Amino acid sequence: MTTAEAPATSPLLASRALHVTFPGRRGAPPAQAVDGVDLELAPGEIVALVGESGCGKTTLARTLLGLVRPTSGEVSFGGETLDYRARALKAYRKRVQLVLQDPSGSLNPRHTVYDAVAEGLRIHGHPGDERAAVAEALSRAGLRPPERFFLRYPHELSGGQRQRVVIAGALVLGPELIVADEPVASLDASVRGEILALLLKLRDELGLSALVVTHDLGLAWNIADRVAVMYLGRIVESGPVEDVLTHPQHPYTQALLSVLPEADGEPVVLSGEPPDPSRIPSGCRFHARCQVLASGRAEEAGVADKCRTEPLPVLPAHADGPQVACHWAAARRVPRPGGPQE
């Protein structure tokens, strides 16, 4: 498994104590979209970043891409801290690519497939044969024969084909990492698997790393090596997919998994809306919606006060096993000597 060898190599992408704050509108308090995130991505690794809308996962992805400047903390790529001067940023963007959710929106309706794929080459000044590079990227993305697609406009393609064009446009620059924001959320179910298979294939063939931002835990199960669950600007649980998704420790992850249609047992439906990043509760940020605290199990474990008052530390970026930011999970783990941590 890729995760096992990850600590040996240095991380490709890393963030340290990353914070992103957006000013509040009309006198509202500022929104802390990303509130302290340490994250690492090894070369060739696929990490899924999972959370509800408004949890800051998209902002985190944008920050890692250099599209948003962090309020504090830093992003580093290949061991070097990200430099926000125009020239350095442009060079960075040759190595890291973005794939967005809505393939019909991420292609300019007035550009042909050829133009869309060649755009990156033109921005960065491609010395070689542009046509050949475009053709190769298109066939890598599964659009064969590529020449047949050159003069098509996005509206003449199906959703799956459009997403392949977007992926080809990212591949053409020979990146090391792809950040994909909900890459299959707006695709038809039967097409979804094909696009995910393509991401896996690219990892196997090109050693491409990927950070996949999604609300879909099934997607993480389908392709990711590691998963990080985000809640209100923090990663609350992370680790290998098998561990986190089959033995979730954090009540939030447990709740997310329990409401999936196929899940066994009684679903834990959290009430209310996903909370507002401009009012992060004190103590554990999840405590107001936490089913463990509400049912009194946290009280039994003697951590209820801690849950309400004591903030949790930022989870370390990379470790062998699963990580969880929860007082209750920590308290439960202590009596068990054979636990994976501590």
Partner 1 sequence: MTAASTPAVVREPDGGPVKSGPSRGVLARAAAGPKTAYLLYVAGKLGGAAVSLLAVLVTSFFLFRIIPGDPVKAMTRHRPVSPEQMAALRRQFGLDSPLWQQFTDYCGKALTGDLGVSYQFHAPVSQLIAERFPATLLLTGVAVVIYSALGLWLGTRSAWRHGQLGDKLNTGVALTLWSVPSFWLGLLLIIVFSVGMGPIPGLFPTGGMESGSETGFAHVLDVAHHMVLPVLTLVAVGYAQTLLVMRSSLLDEMGSDYLTTARAKGLRDALVRRKHAVPNALLPTVTMVFINLGHVAAGSILVESVFSWPGLGGLFYQAIPVPDLPLIQGLFVVFAGAMILMNLLADLLYPLLDPRVGR
Partner 2 sequence: MTTSESTPPPETGSTPPPATGAAPQGKARSLTWERRRTSVARFWRQYRSHRAGLYGLGALLLIAAIALAAPLLVGSDVQNVTGAPGKALESPSSRFPLGTDQYGRSLFGLLLYGARISLSVGLMAAALSVAIGTLIGILAGHFGGWFATVVMRITDWFLVMPALVLAIVLATVLSQSVWTVVLAIGVTSWPTTARLVRAQTLAVESRPYIERAQALGGGHGHIMARHVLPNVMPLVLAQTTLLISSAILTEATLAFLGLGDPNVVSWGGMLQEARETGAVSSGHWWYLAPPGLAIAVVALAFTLCGRAVESVLNPKLGTSR
Partner 3 sequence: MHAVRGVDLTLAAGQKLGVAGESGCGKSTLALALLRLLPASAHLSGEILLDGEDVLTMKWGRLRAVRWAGASIVFQGAMHSLNAVHRIGDQIAEPLLIHGRATPAAARKRTAALLEQVGLPAARADAYPHELSGGQRQRVMIAMSLACDPHLIVADEPTTALDVMIQAQILRLIEQLVADQNISLLMISHDLAVLADTCDRLAVMYAGRVVEEGPAAAVHTAAHHPYAQALSAAFPRIGDPASRRAPRGLPGDPPDPARLPTGCTFHPRCPVALASCTQDDQPLREAAPHHHAACVHVSPAIPQGVSAP
Does residue 259 touch partner 3 according to CB under 8 A? yes
> What's the min distance (Å) between Cβ of 335 and partner 3?
26
> What's the min distance (Å) between Cβ of 307 and partner 3?
20
The answer to whether residues 231 and 252 touch, using CB atoms and an 8 Å cutoff, is yes
**With respect to partner 1, which residue has the nearer C-beta, 191 or 263?**
263
Does residue 273 touch partner 3 according to CB under 8 A? yes
Whole-number Å distance between alpha carbons of 126 and 22:
37
Q: Is the dihedral of CA 210, 216, 222, 227 positive or negative?
A: positive
Residue whose token pair is 């963030």: 15
Does residue 153 touch partner 2 according to CB under 8 A? yes
Does residue 189 touch partner 3 according to CB under 8 A? yes
* Eight-class DSSP state of 149: G
> Which distant-in-sequence residues (6+ apart) come within 8 Å of 45 by Cβ?
2, 3, 6, 12, 209, 210, 225, 226
Whole-number Å distance between alpha carbons of 256 and 300:
23
Does residue 281 touch partner 3 according to CB under 8 A? no
Residue whose token pair is 């004591």: 310
Residue ranges in 150-169 that form contacts with partner 3 under rule CB under 8 A: 158-161
Helix (H, G, I), strand (E, B) or coil at 60: helix
Residue ranges in 64-123 that form contacts with partner 2 under rule CB under 8 A: 65, 67, 86, 89-91, 93-94, 96-98, 100-102, 105-112, 114, 118-120, 123
- Smallest Cα–Cα separation from 33: which of 276, 282, 272, 287? 276
Residue 143 exposed, middle or buried by CB count within 10 Å (0-12, 13-18, 19+) = buried
Q: Is the dihedral of CA 61, 188, 261, 46 positive or negative?
A: negative
Partner from partner 1, partner 3, partner 2, none contacting 193, C-beta within 5 to 8 A by type: partner 3
From the list 257, 290, 303, 324, which residue makes contact with partner 3 (rule: CB under 8 A)?
Answer: 257
Question: How many Cβ atoms from other residues are within 10 Å of residue 241's Cβ?
Answer: 22
Q: Which stretch binds partner 3 (CB under 8 A): 75-83, 95-103, 253-261, 296-304?
A: 253-261
Does residue 194 touch partner 3 according to CB under 8 A? yes
From the list 79, 109, 125, 261, which residue makes contact with partner 3 (rule: CB under 8 A)?
Answer: 261
**With respect to partner 3, which residue has the nearer C-beta, 160 or 169?**
160
Whole-number Å distance between alpha carbons of 293 and 299:
7
From the list 5, 74, 147, 273, which residue makes contact with partner 2 (rule: CB under 8 A)?
Answer: 147
Does residue 221 touch partner 2 according to CB under 8 A? no
Binding site for partner 2 (CB under 8 A): 65, 67, 86, 89-91, 93-94, 96-98, 100-102, 105-112, 114, 118-120, 123-124, 129-132, 147-153, 155-156, 166, 169, 173
